[in-house]
Amino acid sequence: MAINGNEIAARIIADLKTRKTPTKSLVAILVGDDKASLSFLKQKEKVAKELGVRFVLHILPESLTQAQLENEVRAISADKSVGAVIVQLPLPKKYDRVPMLNAIGIEKDVDVLNGETTRVLSPAVGALKHILEDIGFDLGGKRATVVGPGMLIGRPIAGWLMPQVIKLTVLGKAKLDVEAIKEADLVITGTGVPHLINDSHVKPNAVVIDFGYGQLDGKTVGDVDAKAIAIKTKNVTPTPGGTGPIVVAQLFENFFRICG
């Protein structure tokens, strides 16, 4: 049976319900009208409602200049009634995302995108940690391969894994190093390339954690062909219903910690 992300997320949310609900609001900023981004934010809004968290969505026009948008983000973050701020990525191509994320400030950066912090883990890292704990996977002495070195998934996960595993390999998506994937006890992917990895790429009983998503034949699928890989290992995340719900739950765990 594949790893059930909905069940893990439900346990995180159930734990948060036992804690004191923050009085400050969680603010999300969407620039433009990207439908996929709006869908992700609606998922976060649904969890916020379940937890009794005040969730505020600002949809800003793409006509704003870089400086105007940075000022908007900075002003929202400076509001004392705001506990944390999300700038939904990806931003339209005309914007430089680094100064935009820096405008949030580390103290209210619930996504952990604009600097190192010891207060919370990035949502992707936190989700991975919850999954590994759930299946009882010990990183000590293991080989790990991360496919896709992006800032949301691959980069923070690689940084977290590096001191804990015996060998870490980080791969781009342009040309797969199949042997590096085959030797890994733990494979993590976040490329957005549908079914980039199949059962021929992984060894038996490997743990395969898929953070990617894309469209294939009109359906949302992950980087990993989970059904094919499930023949080799039970420890694989499906898409949808795998890492996605856990990442959202971890974001709220971060919010509760930041506002605690």
- Ranges in the chain annotated CATH 3.40.50.720: 123-243
| pLDDT confidence band for 1 (50 / 70 / 90) | low
What six digits make up the tokens of 194? 């549908």
**Which pLDDT score is estimated for 5?**
97
190: helix, coil or strand? coil
Q: Does position 116 have pLDDT exceeding 90, yes or no?
A: no
**Which pLDDT score is estimated for 163?**
97
189: helix, coil or strand? strand
pLDDT tens-digit series, residues 136-164:
999 999 999 999 999 999 999 999 999 99
CB 244 within 8 A of CB 44: no
Residue entry with tokens 């680094």: 98
What six digits make up the tokens of 76? 């929202």
CATH number belonging to the domain at 123-243, selected among 3.40.50.720, 3.50.50.60, 3.40.50.1820, 2.20.25.90: 3.40.50.720
Q: Other C-beta atoms within 10 Å of 111: how many?
A: 22
Which residues are within 8 A (CB) of 209 and not within 5 positions of it... i.e. 6 or more apart? 3, 128, 131, 186, 187, 188, 189, 236, 237, 242, 243
Share the mean pLDDT of the chain. 95
| pLDDT confidence band for 2 (50 / 70 / 90) | confident
Which residues are within 8 A (CB) of 79 and not within 5 positions of it... i.e. 6 or more apart? none
160: helix, coil or strand? helix
Mean pLDDT (whole number) for 196-218:
94
**Backbone angles phi and psi of 134, in degrees to 5:** -65, -40
CATH architecture assignment, domain 11-114: 3-Layer(aba) Sandwich (3.40)
**Which pLDDT score is estimated for 175?**
81
Backbone CA torsion sign across 226, 227, 230, 231: negative
Q: Other C-beta atoms within 10 Å of 222: how many?
A: 31
Q: Other C-beta atoms within 10 Å of 149: how many?
A: 16
